[in-house]
Amino acid sequence: MKIRLRTEYIVVICVLVLNCIGLMSLYSSLHHAGMFSGRDIFYRQLMWMAMSWVALIIVSSINYRTFHDRSYLFYGLNILLLFAVLFIGHESMGAQRWLSLAGFTFQPSELSKITAILVLARCFAAVRPENMRRYFFIALGLIMFNALLIIKQPDLGTGLTLPILFMLMGFSSMIKKRYFIILSLLVCMTIPFAWNFLKPYQRDRLTVFVNPNVDPLGAGYTIIQSKVAIGSGGIAGKGFLSGTQNQFNFLPERHSDFIFTVVAEEWGFLGSLFLLFIYWIILSKILDKSKELKDNYARYLLMGIAAMIFIHVFVNIGMTLGILPVVGIPLSFISYGGTNLLMTMILIGLFLGACRE
């Protein structure tokens, strides 16, 4: 007898698999010359993971229409948190992105990814032929205001995810495609002028993206070592805790934004393909489910969730391979970082809640 699992169960199983891969990769990345030197970081991630699963269960038990009715409220609260970051935020490595509460440090910019999906889904679900222009500009204004507050921190990578999310969700809406095409052309025309507004380190990242050897021991060092680590993994990889670039500390930030290099070096091309296959299953199941739903808000909600996960996976792996600039985007479910993990698990909880429509 053929057993067919429900879409929700398949997605949950895939998330569990990614959690396990993430913990294994984090454990390996925190070793230096064979010594486990990041015990506190590993246990902190375990704690965040447990909290994230609790959040997933709670969110999935709430009627998804509740988030529709309160989407603008959630958006407004998140905007207040972003303003709070600018005045009382915790500064680290030249950026002021974090708030501390009851011993926990979190990034309100990560919560923007959830509230952006909620308000965009509500706007696009309300579009009719007679009001499409109004909702196009409402949605664009909300997203750009949110994105500018994040870029101000500065956090260019997270800030740019919101306009990309707007475009991906918008192209699947009832709004005429010419609105988005014209907007894209206008953005392309302003790109040359944007150079003058970038921070020095952001300019360095773009420069080494074109040619990492311009500064091989400075701004280009990380991407060069990332390529070396990925290439050294070969077809089958070097094995768990056996990656030389990882174990001998050649690669900075390998437990967070560059954790894909740990996977690629230790498990090789085949292991990397398996990881991408798991992401493909999650995205395809979410999008397939969105086609089955009759409620427009639920459909756009699922499209937004799939788009956000796709953006993170595409940009993160792209920057570790050197085909995209380094913008500080974590790998969903895998990278170290409590707020991003919590955000992504809440998105899965929203998906599970919408599946009960």
Q: Which helix (H) or strand (E) holds 209?
A: helix 200-210
DSSP string, 103-136: TEEE-HHHHHHHHHHHHHHHHHHT--TTTHHHHH
Helices 156-171 and 108-125 cross at an angle (nearest 10°) of 20
Residue 97 is predicted with a pLDDT of 75
According to the model, what pLDDT value does residue 121 have?
Answer: 95
CB 305 within 8 A of CB 350: yes
For position 310, what pLDDT does the model report?
96
Tell me how far apart the alpha carbons of residues 145 and 347 are, in angstroms, rounded to a whole number.
22
* Contact yes or no for 114/346 (Cβ under 8 A): yes
pLDDT band at 120 (very low <50, low <70, confident <90, very high): very high
Lowest mean pLDDT among 14-23, 245-254, 321-330: 245-254
Token readout for 1 is 């007898």
Name the residue among 313, 317, 318, 288 with its Cα closest to residue 303: 288
Q: How far apart are CA 35 and CA 39, in angstroms?
A: 10
Is there a contact between 151 and 95 (Cβ–Cβ < 8 Å)? no
Write the burial class of residue 309 (CB in 10 Å: 0-12 exposed, 13-18 middle, 19+ buried): buried
pLDDT band at 214 (very low <50, low <70, confident <90, very high): low
pLDDT at 16 over 80: yes
Highest mean pLDDT among 97-101, 111-115, 126-130, 335-339: 111-115
Q: For 139-152, what is the mean pLDDT?
A: 92
How sure is the predictor about 344, in pLDDT bands with cuts at 50, 70 and 90? Answer: very high
d(CA 78, CA 110): 10
